Amino acid sequence: MKVWNATEKSASRQAIAALEGGIGISTVMQVDGDGGFRMSQNGPGIFEITCESTLPPLVLTGGIHGDEKAGISILDSLIDDIVSGNQRVKRSVLLMFGNLRAMQTNGFKGCRCIEDEVGETSNLNRCFGRGYFETPRCYGEHRANEMMRAVEDFADTHGCPEVIDIHQSFAVPTLRDVRGGVADRSDYTYAMLYPVEDDLASALGWIHEQYSDIVAGAVVNDMQLRHHTFAGYMASTFGSRAATFEQGNIGYVDHSTFTPQLEDNLSRKIAGETKLDKMEGFDVWRYLRQIRKETKDFTFIDDEGNRTNAPLDFLPLPAGRIARDGHREHELRMGERLLFANSTVPIGDRAAAVIERLHTDLVPAP
């Protein structure tokens, strides 16, 4: 047993060091009284907490894209609090850092993914729902195998988990940009939802009851599609309530990105407090289709066909052409908007998602 040195380095740094054959951590701890729990590191950056509880187990992931700091900092902080005894633990939890190699790049500033030349699966969040990679061609495929094994074992032992996979986006608008007239300058943070059995009411109700303090919108995925994201894989494989949380602009972790607020929320979840005291309304959006990058000449264009910057998430766009990819043009219909617009993704990956407002009485309007 190696004793955890919580003050020496964050959990993410220790996990990366373990990759290089440096510090190998295997922390076994027992907390007395009031339930007690056991925490162990089952692989690099994969921490399992076992706790007797009637609550559903929880899977929390961060750093699946290595430059999205919100999830990395939240997991570091939660793990530090758990290890140092400052966090009440009332349910079993699996905390996993995603793309350790991408997190390590650029002096730990991180990058989205490494080994872009491999194409779509260099992006760890496109590696799931394809089965195990028998001969992984890149770290993304290798890491997906490790994560899939970990969640299968976790679900076998503790039952079907709820899943929050924490990300950040490229071009997040402010609340005011999207809603107009709102005096709040904070980022428009949102959840990408995967309704289990297509039960939209249950999926939206889950977010409303438990997370509406930190999301301004929820984007409902089309479950007819095959999903290669971690949250999509968890929903379709285990029937998990699963969401990808997008916490403001990449790299920022301040209050305007709702990162500290999400950490507080997750800390309460681990402590066994599930429902919010005060629920909020939020916008609901529907995922319609993706725009896939097929050539290296992919670019977003304005209505005159001139090359232009990628549009911000959620903001209104005119109907008509929006992107050119070699000889092909992509168009938007009236009311459609873009998410994750990015012309620099690897060929074969999604260059943008197309969404529209979903009008529903299932949750209150903001």
Site residues for Zn ion per CB under 5 A: 65, 68, 167
Helix (H) or strand (E) holding 201: helix 200-211
The answer to whether residues 309 and 92 touch, using CB atoms and an 8 Å cutoff, is: no
Phi–psi pair at 139, nearest 5 degrees = -65, -35
Q: Which residue is nearest to Zn ion (CB)?
A: 167
Structure tokens, 333: 């219909």
The answer to whether residues 161 and 234 touch, using CB atoms and an 8 Å cutoff, is: yes
Least distance (Å) between residue 155 CB and Zn ion? 23
The answer to whether residues 358 and 286 touch, using CB atoms and an 8 Å cutoff, is: yes
Least distance (Å) between residue 363 CB and Zn ion? 24
65 or 91, CB closer to Zn ion? 65
51 or 70, CB closer to Zn ion? 70
Strand partners, 249: 169
Least distance (Å) between residue 17 CB and Zn ion? 24
**What whole-number distance in Å separates Cα of residue 363 and Cα of residue 366?**
9
Least distance (Å) between residue 158 CB and Zn ion? 26
37 or 139, CB closer to Zn ion? 139
Start-to-end CA distance of the chain, whole Å, equals: 50
112 or 241, CB closer to Zn ion? 112
Least distance (Å) between residue 71 CB and Zn ion? 8
DSSP letters along 118-148, please? G-GGGSGGGSSSS---SS-SSHHHHHHHHHH
44 or 71, CB closer to Zn ion? 71
DSSP letters along 8-26, please? TS-HHHHHHHHHTTS----
57 or 71, CB closer to Zn ion? 71
165 or 263, CB closer to Zn ion? 165
Least distance (Å) between residue 68 CB and Zn ion? 5
Least distance (Å) between residue 112 CB and Zn ion? 7
Closest CA to 99 of 160, 165, 22: 165
